[in-house]
Amino acid sequence: MYVQSSLRSRGLALLALFFGFVAAGWAQDGAAEDPDRAAIVAILERGPVGLATDFEAWAGNFHPEWSVWFAGRDAAVERDVHMQRVRDYVATGIDVEAFDFDLVRYQRYGDTAIVDFQATEYIRQADGTLRTVQFSEVAVLVRENGRWLIRSSSLSFPEREEAAQSDGD
């Protein structure tokens, strides 16, 4: 009787495992076909490439009440302040040549989405040197009038955090 019960339990466990993989596959396929996910990823994966030639197109992806928080800072920076800082930086003659985007996690809740990703910006400085900036970001996007906009961003810079920790050793 024990053997029969044990075999039945194993069989049920294998069936549950099989259907779990099938359900996970369906969920991934559904995410890949989700037009909202595609629209959101398209906004984020472009990053600031083209910023120097069409600042308004890039800035248009951010909600009017957007703010950004950088790890290690005491407070978030409001949209207008950050955008002016970016304009001033662009005016120095920089050009964002490339942007690598690696999606870590995406979750949508109706008209709100949370996206976690890793990124690298390749910025050509005015003197011709290439500056590479790696960061992790969590972005919250909202859909307004059928359009997805970045509502808030939280960024951390792993290399800077590692350097700060090694300085303290």
12 inside domain: no
79 inside domain: yes
pLDDT per position as a tens digit, 22-59 = 334 434 444 557 999 999 999 999 999 988 899 999 99
- Domain hosting 131: range is 34-167
Q: What is the pTM of this model?
A: 0.76
Residue 101 is part of a domain; what is its CATH number?
3.10.450.50
55 inside domain: yes
14 inside domain: no
pLDDT per position as a tens digit, 6-25 = 445 444 443 343 444 333 44
The DSSP bridge pattern shows strands 62-70 and 147-156 to be parallel
**How many folded domains does the chain comprise?**
1
Integer Cα distance of 139 and 117 in angstroms: 8
52 inside domain: yes
Amino acid at the residue 118 = Q
4 inside domain: no
10 inside domain: no
154 inside domain: yes
